[in-house]
Amino acid sequence: MGEILSPAKINLFLHVTGKRPDGYHELYSLMAPIDLCDYISMEFQGRGIRVVCGHPRVPEDKTNLVCRAASLFAAACKARGLPRPYEGVEIRLQKNIPVGGGLGGGSSNAAMVLLALNEKAGNPLSPAALNELGAGLGADVPFFLGNGPAYVSGIGEQLRPCRELPEYWLVLCSPGVAASTVKVFKKLEFGLTFKPDYIMNTGSNLLPIGQELNGREELHNDLEDPACRLYPEIGSTKNEMALLLKRNVYMSGSGSSLFALYSDRGQAEDGFDRLSEAWAGGKQQVFLSRIGQNRR
């Protein structure tokens, strides 16, 4: 099986809309894939599931989401009386997406493994069945099983395509700290943050879709305040980034990654160069990326 691209995502806005009795938070977000990718390769050999990754913060045991995805897929096939899809598989991950950066790298990896295994087995599981498996792995996995920008609601399992979103460029920064999604949600003062009068029916009131961006758009993320209180580096990097780029900067997901949006590639390249020069030798990582409609 050839090399598999596993894209990152950004949240163009994120509202926490409720909290369920089981402790999970419901949200409403506009999510979009970007062309910053991890790379996955798979070899079907031996017995069992093996994960190989050289990143110090990525586990190579059964707690890794790709290992869980492969196990769930095999169990789902068995439960349906389907032939065993494989005896053993070695999954190799090359991580380029910052870990703990709110960019969905682990969820993307799990989704791409589910899709690849299903294709390898002759597509025995329907998209709905794969989505059910994905939702059991993580809130972002169903998004990555889709194929483009989408409005996401519920706990991540309800998707509505956003076909009108244009191709934006972005300057993306990892501030050098990994944010814990669990800790950020625990820090969320839900009673204060929840505002039922949010206007959340479309993205057009937050992004001037169809118009050139001027860098002064207001994109809201309910998780930014708790993330910055837990990890002050996020807030300080955001402020410095906004001053250097002279435009608004936003946080993706539960943090810690930050981004600025551009309609023009040349302006984005200038911004990337400016940050790269200012932070040369520092702990920040800077990426030039773009939003696209199709990811596979």
Q: Is residue 143, in this structure, part of any structural domain at all? A: yes
Give me the CATH number covering residue 151: 3.30.230.10
Q: Is residue 295, in this structure, part of any structural domain at all? A: no
Q: Is residue 206, in this structure, part of any structural domain at all? A: yes
Task: Answer yes or no: 186 catalytic.
Answer: no
Q: Which of 103, 96, 141, 98 is nearest to 8 (CA)?
A: 103
Query: For the whole prediction, is pTM greater than 0.85?
Result: yes
pLDDT tens-digit map of 142-174: 999 998 999 999 989 999 999 888 899 999 999
Task: Tell me the pLDDT of the chain averaged across its residues.
Answer: 91
The residues, ordered by sequence, that sit 6+ positions from 6 with a Cβ below 8 Å of its Cβ are 37, 38, 39, 40, 97, 105, 108, 109, 111, 112
Domain end point (choices 161, 192, 210): 161
Residues 188 and 272 in one domain: yes
Residues 10 and 110 in one domain: yes
Residues 226 and 146 in one domain: no
| Structural domain span for residue 275 | 169-290
Instruction: Please give the average per-residue pLDDT across 254-265, as a whole number.
Output: 97
Residues 25 and 106 in one domain: yes
Residues 208 and 150 in one domain: no
Local confidence band at 101 (pLDDT 50, 70, 90 cut-offs): very high
Count of domains forming the chain: 2
Provide the pLDDT for residue 32.
Answer: 96
Catalytic residue among 38, 95, 140, 238: 140
Torsion, Cα 186 228 202 138, to 10 degrees, reads -40
Residues 43 and 95 in one domain: yes
Rounded CA gap, 91 and 42, in Å? Answer: 5
Task: Answer yes or no: 9 catalytic.
Answer: yes
Residues 55 and 189 in one domain: no
Q: Is residue 296, in this structure, part of any structural domain at all? A: no
Catalytic residue among 9, 95, 222, 238: 9
Local confidence band at 200 (pLDDT 50, 70, 90 cut-offs): low
Sheet of 250-251: strands edge to edge?
250-251, 258-262, 169-174, 285-290
Provide the pLDDT for residue 205.
Answer: 47
Residues 251 and 211 in one domain: yes
